[in-house]
Amino acid sequence: MVTRAPYGSWPSPISPDMLVAGASLPSAAAAAGAVTWWSESRPAEGGRTQLVRRDADGTTHDLLPADHNARTRVHEYGGGAWWVHGRTTYFTNWADQRLYRLTDGSTVPVAVTPEPPVPHGWRYADGTVTPDGRHLICVRETPDGDVRNDIVAIPAAGGAATVLATGRDFVAAPRLSPDGRRLAWLTWDHPNMPWDATELWIADLTSDTTAESGTESAAVVLTDAHRIAGQPEESLVQPEWAASGELFVVSDRSDWWNIYRVAGVDELLPVHPVEAEVGEPAWVFGQSNYVIADDGTIWFTYACDGHARLVSVAPDGSTADRGTPFVRMNHLAGESGRLVAIATESAREASVIEIVPASLPEASLPEASLPEDDDVTADAKGFTVLRPPRDLGLDDQGISRPRHISFPSTGERTAHAWSYPPASASAIGPADELPPLLVLIHGGPTADARPEFALSTQFWTSRGFAVVDVDYGGSTGYGRRYRRQLDGAWGIVDVDDACAAATFLADQGLVDRARLAIRGGSAGGFTVLACLANRDIFTAGASYYGVVDLSALARDTHKFESRYLDRLVGPWPGTADLYAERSPLTHLDGLNRPLLVMQGLQDEVVPPAQAELIVKALRDKRIPHAYLTFDDEQHGFRIAANIVRSITAELSFYAQVYGFTPADPVEPVEIAFADRLAPGT
Q: Where are the alpha helices (DSSP H) in 491-629?
A: 493-507, 523-534, 550-556, 565-568, 576-582, 608-621
Backbone angles phi, psi at 105, to 5 degrees: 90, -10
**What confidence score (pLDDT) does residue 265 get?**
96
pLDDT at residue 373, rounded to an integer: 36
Q: What tens digit of pLDDT does each residue of 120-158 get?
A: 999 999 999 999 999 999 999 998 778 999 999 999 999
Residue 613: the pLDDT is: 87
Q: What pLDDT score does 362 carry?
A: 67
- Mean pLDDT, range 285-300, rounded to an integer: 95
Residue 112 lies in a domain: no
Is-contact 102 80, C-beta < 8 A? Answer: no
pTM here?
0.92
Reported as a single tens digit per residue, the pLDDT across 326-343 is: 999 999 999 768 999 999
Q: Mark which of 334, 353, 387 sits at the end of a domain.
A: 387
- Asked if residue 62 is part of any domain, the answer here is no
DSSP element (H, E) containing 237: strand 236-241
Query: What's the whole-number average pLDDT of the chain?
Result: 92
Q: Are residues 147 and 221 in the same domain?
A: yes
Higher local confidence (pLDDT), 216 or 392: 392
- Are 636 and 629 in contact by the 8 Å Cβ rule? The answer is no
Contact 356, 385 (CB under 8 A): no
3-state secondary structure of 293: coil
365 falls in which pLDDT band (50, 70, 90)?
very low
Neighbours of 544 (CB within 10 A): 25
pLDDT at 266: 95
What burial letters (b/e) apply to 97-107, b meaning 16+ CB within 10 Å?
A: bbbbbbeeeee
Examine residue 437 and state whether it is found in any structural domain, yes or no.
yes
Cis upstream peptide for 573 (omega within 30°):
yes
* 236-241, strands of its sheet edge to edge: 236-241, 247-251, 258-264, 267-270
Statement to judge: residues 343 and 474 lie in one domain: no
Are 478 and 451 found together in one domain?
Answer: yes
Q: Which pLDDT does position 673 carry in this prediction?
A: 92
**Are 486 and 626 part of one and the same domain?**
yes
Spatial CB neighbours of 126, under 8 Å, sequence gap ≥ 6: 74, 79, 80, 138, 139, 172, 173, 174, 285, 286
| Residue 435 pLDDT exceeds 70 | yes
CA 634, CA 181: separation in Å to the nearest integer?
Answer: 40
**Both 348 and 426 in a single domain?**
no
Q: Give the domain CATH number at 550.
A: 3.40.50.1820
Mean pLDDT of 255-277: 97
**Whether residues 408 and 316 fall in one domain:** no
pLDDT above 80 (res 380): no
Query: Mean of the pLDDT values across residues 597-625?
Result: 89
Domain co-membership, 248 together with 342 = yes
Q: Is 39 exposed, middle or buried (0-12, 13-18, 19+ CB in 10 A)?
A: buried
Whether residue 448 is predicted with pLDDT greater than 50 in this model: the reply is: yes
- 535 and 409 co-located in one domain: yes
Above 70 in pLDDT, residue 633? yes
CA distance 108 to 100: 10
pLDDT class of 679 with cuts at 50, 70, 90: low
pLDDT score recorded for residue 217 = 55
Residue 658, pLDDT score: 97
> For 44-48, 67-71, 88-92, 392-396, which range has the lowest pLDDT when averaged over its residues?
44-48
Task: State yes or no: pLDDT of 213 exceeds 70.
Answer: no
Percent of the chain surpassing pLDDT 70:
95
CATH number at residue 301: 2.120.10.30
Which domain-ending residue is among 339, 370, 387?
387
Q: Does residue 421 share a domain with residue 357?
A: no
Q: Are residues 222 and 318 in the same domain?
A: yes
Q: What is the C-alpha to C-alpha distance for residues 106 and 120, in angstroms, rounded to an integer?
A: 25
Domain span at 609: 395-676
Q: Is residue 202 part of a domain?
A: yes
Cis previous bond, 191, omega within 30: yes
Task: Determine, yes or no, domain membership for 17.
Answer: no
Whole-angstrom CA distances from 600 to 440, 606, 654 are: 20, 9, 21
Pairing of strands 427-428, 3-4: parallel
Is 231 a domain residue? yes
Amino acid letter for position 627: Y
The number of distinct structural domains making up the chain is 2
Chain centroid to CA 22: 21
Report how far apart, in Å, the C-alpha atoms of 491 and of each of 412, 449, 537, 565 are: 18, 18, 15, 11
* For the chain, counts of helices (H) and of strands (E): 9, 38
Q: What angle do helix axes 523-534 and 493-507 make, rounded to 10 degrees?
A: 70
Asked whether residue 583 falls in the same domain as residue 461, the answer is: yes
Cα separation, 659 vs 505, in Å, equals: 22
CB atoms within 10 A of CB 602: 12
Q: Is residue 42 part of a domain?
A: no
Residues 599, 642 within the same domain = yes
Structural domain includes residue 473: yes
Which of 387, 410, 435 terminates a domain? The answer is 387
